[in-house]
Chain A
Amino acid sequence: MLKSIITKELKIIVREKGNFFFLIGMPILFIVLFGSIFGNTNNTFTIPYIDQDQSDASKAFIEQLGEISGFEVEKVDMEEQQQVEQIKAGKVSSLLVIPKHFEEKLTSGKTQAAIKFYRDPTAIQIVTPIQAVLENITNHYREQKLSTALTSVGLNDKETDLIMLPPINIEEINTSTQKVDAITQYVPGYTVMFVFFIMITMVRRFFKERESGMLARMQSTPLKPIVYLIGMWIPALISVLIQCIVLLAFGYFVYGLDLGNLLAISIIVICLAICGTGLGLAMAVCVTGENQGLALTQVFTLGGAVLAGLWFPFEMLPSFAQAIGHFTPQYWAQTGLQDVMVHEANVGGVWPGLLVLLGYGVLGMFIALVRFKHFIKTAIS
């Protein structure tokens, strides 16, 4: 009997085209869309400049700026005032002006050479890195001046270098050899998010069985309610497993996403599928109507996606949101998948997340078991 229900249910799910769109088409669309937008982001900051001095020193300054990774300089072919008006109008965010006599003042050693930096106060994200780079170059000039002064008082190069050596050295260590980009965020993110859309399919199927009288008719057969419930659950579980395989394979083949330890990924996907379908079962037999189920699923999937950091890195969330996010199954699924894909974790490294996912799934099934009798009652009265 169980096999009959599973076969029947799979046939129905496969024949309902909308299921493919919701479970596979939509997430692929989102991955492609967001992957294209954020995956190819040009992170180079442009520094517009006017060189009024046209000296060797001013040219060297501009050249130094342009050589810094992530920054490029752009000569402005208009008057300083005109460009300032452009900033006021919000059309450009900054302007670097090297005034006349820059070289003269710089080499004199007596006066301070000035550089004007106009900035749009609202464009903090763009202007702040440019400001930091300018300060860095200014410091570099100061170090050069200091070094020259030390040499002039009789210190040799070795002694000067020792004095000029920064007291603190920052050693940059990358914790992962894997490529980390938008795809490592969006492929697992949208996979996890859309897994929970199975709840809509499950709510729909249960209500269709109820409204059509099929559930009541099943009560006239020797079929046991628990067998019926399992028979309705397994096809949903299989659908989610196929969904995850397709989406992760899409990331692997189309975007070259490194999946990491396949055993660990497989176990996370199984636990995630149990979690999503377990909660789906609970939702299907607890809600009073199809529309209520639809609304609650959307709140759960979209709210969970935000709080679990499925759309953007979890660390970017405010601390209170992060605290709430830890209670969502989506967070544990996403963290687990990313740990395996990016941080080369294995099953042992993600077991707490697996337990949380299984816990949610088992809880959902338990609620469904308790509540199913009432659901049948509403079907036959």
Chain B
Amino acid sequence: MEMVLDILHLKKKFGKKTALEDISFSVKAGTCFGLLGPNGAGKSTTMKILTGIVEADNGSVNVLGMNTKENQLTIKQKIGYVPQSITLYEDLTAFDNLVFFGQMFGVKGKSLNERINQVLKQTGLLDRSKDKVKEYSGGMKRRINIAAALLHNPKILILDEPTVGIDPQSRNHIFDMIRTLKEEGVTIIYSTHYMEEVEVLCDDIAIIDNGRIITQGNLKELLEIHGNKAIYIESNQIEKLRTLVNISKITSKDEGWLIESQEPMALLQELLKASTEHNIELLALEMVRPTLESVFLSLTGTSLRD
């Protein structure tokens, strides 16, 4: 598959503080690529380098086969960037804001008006377009913040934590927008520290921590390789079960226990068989899907939420 973005050995320091140690990853065309990491990991700096806001100290960035240093203006026309903060003129209407951002990318006249109508429909805010942005809710502002990056029909959309501090309804609306854009062939680069969002939206991911990529690849494959496989069980006779079934690692979780295993299906069958044969009451028994949280934990030894 064609790569739209190739990043090699990015390094960046702000004064004495190292923001990026060594960042390399590639993004396939038409996919949603998640950049996952805790706050301060280097996600925003990476995003800013991709968009030409910040210059890297070392390394190279190729966008759509063009080097960013040599083709900055052309590349900027192909990228839509949604910053982490809501960056809109609060005293202007949503329409005025969109006119301004469209014109910044050279979109004018009739085509600009058409694009504004399209993105307003996508955001579900067409009927509120003449209201001042300061009269919007946080979620609505976030949607307009994204819309402002879409007016020039970018090939790549970079979203830096676009759902921070918003209600579930707006979050779902943003997710729908991203899915629609992906269907239209736009490559999405999505930075977040919410692993659930990456799991729901992304095809490929890179996990970043302390300015380094600690793993990257297809989401399902990563979960398969690094995610802990486990069985969740609730029973009052867990000690008896432990004597009957070979359990290597068991930890308490909520009302029951979490039993890790490389062969969870086999373990599940064993537990069912033992409980039936020895008349052990099971209150709950289920397979636990591996999560990115467990991937992060297994790779860094710390929780993503810490």
Contacts and interface: CB of A to CB of B under 8 A. Distances in A.
Contacts of B89: 8, 12, 214
Interface string A197-229: 000000000000000111011111111000000
Contacts of B79: 220
A221 B85 CA distance: 16
A375 to B, nearest CB: 14
Given A8-B96, A212-B85, A222-B104, A380 B53 contact: yes
Contacts of A219: 51-53
B25 interface: no
A16 B91 contact: yes
Interface in B66-98: 73, 76-77, 79, 81, 83, 85, 87, 89, 91-92, 96
A15 interface: yes
A1 interface: yes
B100 interface: yes
A254 B105 CA distance: 48
Contact of A380 (B54, B76, B87, B100): B54
B83 A216 contact: yes
Interface residues of B, number: 25
Contacts of B81: 217, 220
Contacts of A221: 76, 101, 104-105
Interface residues of A, number: 22
Nearest to B99: A4
Contacts of B73: 222
Given A220-B52, A222-B73, A381-B14, A213 B106 contact: no
Contacts of A7: 100
B76 A213 contact: no
A229 to B, nearest CB: 15
B137 to A, nearest CB: 18
Contacts of A222: 73, 76-77, 104-106
B103 interface: yes
B142 to A, nearest CB: 14
A11 interface: yes
Given A1-B104, A212-B87, A213-B85, A12 B92 contact: yes
A234 to B, nearest CB: 15
Nearest to B14: A381
B48 interface: yes
A219 B50 CA distance: 11
Contacts of A12: 89, 91-92
Given A213-B87, A219-B53, A380-B53, A8 B105 contact: no
Interface string B205-244: 0000000000000000000000000000000000000000
Interface class of chain A by DSSP: helix
Interface string A1-31: 1011001100110011000000000000000
A4 B103 contact: yes
Given A380-B53, A381-B14, A217 B87 contact: yes
A197 B127 CA distance: 40
A1 B108 CA distance: 10
A7 B104 CA distance: 12
B301 to A, nearest CB: 30
A165 to B, nearest CB: 77
B53 A216 contact: yes
Given A218-B104, A381-B14, A8 B92 contact: yes
A15 to B, nearest CB: 5
A3 B51 CA distance: 24
B158 to A, nearest CB: 8
Contacts of A213: 83, 85, 87
A212 B145 CA distance: 13
A7 B96 CA distance: 10
A223 B89 CA distance: 17
Interface in A268-282: none
A4 B89 CA distance: 13
A214 B101 CA distance: 11
B102 to A, nearest CB: 9
A206 to B, nearest CB: 14
Nearest to A377: B54
Given A220-B53, A380-B53, A11 B104 contact: no
Contacts of B100: 4, 7-8
Contacts of B85: 212-213
B104 A15 contact: no
Contacts of B101: 221
A212 B84 CA distance: 11
B268 to A, nearest CB: 50
Contacts of A8: 89, 92, 96, 100
Contacts of B48: 216, 380
The 3 closest A-B pairs by CB, nearest first: A4-B103, A220-B51, A220-B81
16 contacts: A4-B99, A4-B104, A11-B91, A16-B91, A212-B85, A213-B83, A214-B89, A216-B83, A217-B87, A218-B104, A219-B51, A220-B53, A220-B81, A222-B77, A222-B105, A223-B104
Interface of A: 1, 3-4, 7-8, 11-12, 15-16, 212-214, 216-223, 380-381
Given A380-B54, A381-B14, 18 more contacts: A1-B104, A3-B103, A4-B103, A11-B91, A11-B92, A12-B89, A16-B91, A212-B85, A216-B83, A216-B87, A217-B53, A220-B51, A220-B76, A220-B83, A221-B104, A222-B76, A223-B104, A380-B53
